[in-house]
Amino acid sequence: MGETPLAMPNTASRTGPDGADELARLQAQRERLLTMIADQTKLHKRLRLLVPALMIVLAVLVFFGLRSGELAAPTAILTLVIGVSLLLLLRRQIRMLGGQFFAAEPHADELLAECEASISRLRERRS
């Protein structure tokens, strides 16, 4: 995910006929914001699937360890209890950090709304 500079939409300096350059700049800014929001949404979905996937991997490893005789039953139970506890703690940490990370998303939504409002104003002025 690349860094996208977030600039506030500014309609004060319109160049070209009927603000065409400003309109093009605002449309490009809108596309960058839409891409950034889509990337954040994909990352959020992937992070939500991380812990259940790790729990499945842990369960499969313990199962095959028991079947092969390499892992005793009490050790397997202890491994599952500790492993699941740690994975649940990891899930909680991901939610907390994810909430902080995705707190920037409403800011991007606000910028997108301002950008689209500026585009609408420019189009109204042109017509």
pLDDT at 1: 47
Q: How many helices (H) and strands (E) does the chain have?
A: 3, 0
pLDDT band at 36 (very low <50, low <70, confident <90, very high): confident
pLDDT band at 99 (very low <50, low <70, confident <90, very high): low
Give yes or no for a contact between 105 and 36, defined as CB atoms under 8 angstroms apart: no
Q: Left, alpha or beta for 69 (phi > 0: left; psi -120 to 50: alpha)?
A: left
Token reading at 115: 């950008």
> Where exactly are the structural domains of the chain?
18-126
- Arithmetic mean of pLDDT over the chain: 80
Length of the chain equals 127
pLDDT at 11: 46
Buried b (16+ CB within 10 A) or exposed e, 83-117: beeebeeebeebeeeeeeeeeeeeebeebbebbbe
- Mean per-residue pLDDT for 32-36? 87
